[in-house]
């Protein structure tokens, strides 16, 4: 029972290049709250080592002395304001799926595989992103495990354990697709083989335990430079998955 039966996708950086929009919305939320915090791209690259928006804000405050210490309720309010800005921008069409994402999901579903999401982002962000992809995009996924449903965020395996439980499948039958070291560790700790699609904010991280590392999944308009044929197809994934299980 280790044939490939499901693909489990990370969201930020994997389904879409969302990190830059997240960064801009954090800064807009800080400004709206009268805070003079501004997260630059290099700083945000470091801050992405902390998964979860509220956790990231708390880490920033603790790490950079001289900031006013904020009570947890204020951090939650800041994060809620940021999420509202983000979902609005998303609904306006600010983000497109990464190359090959829609193709591979369609290919998997047509072949009878399940598709799922395992992410540390919160549920409103997922709903906003999927609604921007297509009106029925929520229905493409048989399970959605989000960061606000588990005790420990990535790199802990909790969110993958939850996705597997929702799917009713063993880890050996599933393959994770991630863009970060934290995501890779989370998937591996839950016993899943993991494909990495590199992204600007995670490039240069150590992806040694990954099944494969590629620029993106590729489609006819944006061929993947790392794959003969330019596309990570379902047969290719099945082949990689089978070899990894031997």
The contact set with Mg ion (CB under 5 A) reads: 10, 12-13, 179-180
Compute the least distance from the CB of residue 15 to Mg ion, in Å.
Answer: 9
Q: Are 38 and 204 in contact (CB under 8 A)?
A: no
Annotated active-site residue in 3, 12, 148, 203: 12
Cβ contacts of 167 within 8 Å, gap of 6 or more: 6, 8, 114, 116, 142, 143, 174
Residue number, nearest CB to Mg ion: 13
Q: Closer to Mg ion at the Cβ: 87 or 180?
A: 180
Cis peptide, bond prior to residue 155, ω within 30 of zero: yes
**Structure-token match 């801050």, residue found:** 47
Q: How far apart are CA 83 and CA 141, in angstroms?
A: 22
Q: Which listed residue (2, 10, 46, 74) is catalytic? A: 10
**Does the annotation count 2 as an active-site position?**
no
> Smallest distance from the beta carbon of 173 to Mg ion, in angstroms?
22
Q: Based on the residue annotation, tell me whether 12 is a catalytic residue of this protein.
A: yes
E-strand ranges in the chain read: 6-9, 114-118, 143-145, 174-178, 193-197, 212-214
The encoded tokens of residue 81 equal 């304001």
Nearer to Mg ion, 13 or 155 (CB): 13
Least Å from the CB of residue 33 to Mg ion: 26
Q: Which is nearer to Mg ion, 59 or 77 (CB)?
A: 59
For residue 195, the minimal CB distance to Mg ion (Å) is 13
In the complex with Mg ion, which residue's Cβ is closer, 16 or 108? Answer: 16
Q: Which residues are catalytic?
A: 10, 12
């Amino acid at each position: 029972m280790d044939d490939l039966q499901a693909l489990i996708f990370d969201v930020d950086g994997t389904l879409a290049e969302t990190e830059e929009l997240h960064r801009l919305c954090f800064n807009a939320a800080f400004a709206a709250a009268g805070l003079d915090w501004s997260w630059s791209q290099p700083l945000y690259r470091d801050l992405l080592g902390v998964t979860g928006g509220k956790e990231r804000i708390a880490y920033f405050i603790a790490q950079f002395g001289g900031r006013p210490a904020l009570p947890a309720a204020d951090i939650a309010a800041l994060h809620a304001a940021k999420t509202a800005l983000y979902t609005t921008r998303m609904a306006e069409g600010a983000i497109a799926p990464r190359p090959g994402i829609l193709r591979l999901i369609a290919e998997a579903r047509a072949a009878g595989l399940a598709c799922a999401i395992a992410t540390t982002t919160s549920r409103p962000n997922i709903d906003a992103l999927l609604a921007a992809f297509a009106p029925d995009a929520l229905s493409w996924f048989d399970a959605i495990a989000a960061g606000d449903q588990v005790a420990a965020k990535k790199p802990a395996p909790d969110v993958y354990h939850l996705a597997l439980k929702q799917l009713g499948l063993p880890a050996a039958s599933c393959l994770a697709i991630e863009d970060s070291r934290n995501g890779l560790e989370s998937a591996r700790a839950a016993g899943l083989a993991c494909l990495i699609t590199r992204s600007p904010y995670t490039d240069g991280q150590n992806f040694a335990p990954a099944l494969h590392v590629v620029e993106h999944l590729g489609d006819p308009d944006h061929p993947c430079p790392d794959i003969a044929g330019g596309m990570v197809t379902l047969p290719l994934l099945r082949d990689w998955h089978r070899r990894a299980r031997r």
